[in-house]
Structure 1
Amino acid sequence: MALVSLEDTITIAMSVSDRHASAQWYQDMLGFEVVYHADEAGWSELNTKTNGVTIGLGEHTKPAPGNCVPVFGISDLDSARQKLEQANVKFDGETDVVEGMVKTATFYDPDGNALMLAQDLT
């Protein structure tokens, strides 16, 4: 039995230098939807494409890039990567492929936070 009972949601918090600019980037590049901006608290939240999973953006003058690596499932990684690269999104090297298992690619938001795409190959 767990010490606490968690709900069916998760928020992945990341440090950014400009929440509004970052929120716009997540909308434009990944299709996420702004839930709210709490300007007084320096916090914004966006719904991802996965039910119950939100991204929380905490505004800091010196963000801590790479403080987590959310992994998002995708059906066509190659096509998604091509579109992101055309929008000048930086990737960390080539796409990694484990034949018969998974294909992954790590990329970065404007503040250097690492994100990953993963395509199930099973």
Structure 2
Amino acid sequence: MKRWSWAAALLPVVGVAVWLVPDSVDVVVITAIHPDGTVEWVDTEIRPAEENSSSVHELSQDRHVSKLAEDVVIRTALGCGTPSGLQLPWNGLGAVECSRADFLAMQSPPYAPRLTFNGDGEITEVAGRYHP
């Protein structure tokens, strides 16, 4: 009976731990990209705007930090280095793949990217959006 009560006591803790690591965050503003692959961001949303048709607004002041996974996939609308031509699928997220090194060297982060995470909380995908 004691073994069962320990298992039952652990279930809520495991459930909370899984809940704290999201599968993805739809719209963020990357505030810093560090050479070691650490990325800092805030949660945001896209709102209609008269100029450029949309703008990004912070939802809170909470800063989040995560590392890029070794196998991270990075896509932007124009590429991470010299623009290589606009590529957009139907969802408005960029389709030009970037290398990890090019991403880490970017002067300004991609516009309002979606971040996807693995179970360890590492970023497995950065998908930037096109913004005129």
Q: TM-score, normalised by structure 2?
A: 0.30
User: Which is higher, the Rg of structure 1 or of structure 2?
Assistant: 2
| TM-score, normalised by the number of residues in structure 1 | 0.32
